[in-house]
Structure 1
Amino acid sequence: MYSIKRQGFGEEGGMAEQAVAPLPSLVQIFLAFTKVGLTSFGGGLSGWMMREFVQNRRWLTEGEFLDGLSLCQALPGVNVVNLSIWIGYRLRGGRGALAGAAGMVVPSLILAVAVVALAGKAVQGPTAHWLLAGVAAAALGLSLQMGLRAAWRVAKRGVAPTVIFAATFLALFALRLPLLWVVGVMAPMGIAQAAWSLKRKGR
């Protein structure tokens, strides 16, 4: 099988080509998202998706994934479902988006309903909560790993993106400002900065 090249950001912040695998079929997209949906207990889905689609399967470059994640987090709805639609569309258009969303939602929904129906009150006991809390610790590690990689990529792009990133983090985490207000202010600033940067490089 032949690999193809896509543009991504290199270690020094410049553009560099990264090898990615051939485009998957619709069945492969569905099964990949089914695997993620059925094995991501305790949260941390975004980090698990990055590991699966960027590092393991190489269907996307790291830059493509993080750009898509940023877009999906700014849209209403569940982030991981938005991200599954975006990745599927990026790979195979509208049918890929449908396959990604179906793989993410349908099998895990069936499993959740089956577990509740079969296990009954057992899943509400303290043991189940302890197990999920333990798995959540690993999920948080995945999310932290992805967050640190994204922060490092932003820092390499220059001072202005770093300032926007830091201001957004402080506004949400430290000041606890409303999400809609923060996104409404910081997103246009980030878009304007990126457009200005691209225009300057074009010169």
Structure 2
Amino acid sequence: MSETSSSADPVSGPRPSLGRIFWVFLVMGATSLGGGVVGYLRTGLVVRNNWLDDVTFVELLSISQTLPGLNATNMSILVGDRLRGAWGALLATLGMCLPGAMLMTAAAYAYDIGGDDPWSKAFLHGIAAGALGLIVVVMVQLGSRVLKGFADYVIVLATAAAVAFFHVQVPYALIAAGIVAIWWHRPREGKVDTKTPHTAQVGERHHE
């Protein structure tokens, strides 16, 4: 996770093929172990393939978190559609979900056999701790690129407090954060806010 993100515009150059989209998401689906899926998604989509920049990645991730379903699945649909339309969304989702479905079937069988083994429990505990480390790394990397001013840090802390201490549901907390950000970054007379992150063109689709 030490790679540095490129500052180039997302999807610069030729669009990826449908086969490439399927393969990249298949690899991410097969290797995103331990729950740190956000880190794997960022590495695959931002760092290695330059399909998104960090700001757009965070915006799509925020949308994914406000919708029902798993973040990884929602991100696959949004990114696949952004790259190659409906077929891109379908193949990205299939690539992301197929390895997990197969491996979880095998893991469920193996857990029934040796789930009480102390070595197995220690291994799973280590994976969980490593996943937490990945999440912290991604949080620091994205924060340094996306958070541009004092108000952004206040929104981060307020959202975290609302979810952690007041048990506000994540979609509601994110929607509230978005409303506050709209008010804070609203155009003001005689002032141009150059620090406001650009808006992702989520609705823009690339059809064959």
Q: TM-score with structure 1 length normalisation?
A: 0.77
Match of 1:100 among 86, 92, 96: 92
Q: Which residue of 1 aligns with 2:121?
A: 129
Separation of aligned partners in 1, 2:58 and 2:172: 22
Match runs of 1:40-189 below 5 Å:
40-117=32-109, 120-156=112-148, 158-189=149-180
Q: Retained in 2: the 8 A contact 1:26–1:96? A: yes
Counterpart code for 1:104: M
Q: Which residue of 1 aligns with 2:15?
A: 23
Q: C-alpha offsets along residues 133-173 of structure 1, whole Å, 9 cap, x if unaligned?
A: 212222222211111223223432x2333322221122223
Number of equivalenced pairs? 188
Q: Indicate the structure with greater strand content.
A: 1
Greater relative contact order (Cα 8 A, min sep 6): structure 1 or 2?
Answer: 2
Counterpart code for 1:146: V
Q: Retained in 2: the 8 A contact 1:154–1:165? A: no
* Secondary structure class of the residue paired with 1:145: helix
Q: Retained in 2: the 8 A contact 1:116–1:123? A: no
Q: TM-score with structure 2 length normalisation?
A: 0.75
Separation of aligned partners in 1, 2:14 and 2:129: 34
What do you get for the CA RMSD once the two structures are aligned? 3.0
Q: Retained in 2: the 8 A contact 1:171–1:177? A: yes
Unaligned runs of 5+ in 2: 194-208
Give, in angstroms, the shift of residue 50 of structure 1. 0.3
Q: 1:155 and 1:184, CA in 2 relative to 1: closer, same or farther beyond 3 A? A: closer
Give, in angstroms, the shift of residue 195 of structure 1. 5.0
Unaligned runs of 5+ in 1: 1-8, 11-15
Counterpart code for 1:75: L
Q: Which residue of 2 aligns with 1:6?
A: none
Q: Which residue of 1 aligns with 2:204?
A: none
Q: Indicate the structure with greater helix content.
A: 1
Counterpart code for 1:43: G
Separation of aligned partners in 2, 1:31 and 1:51: 15
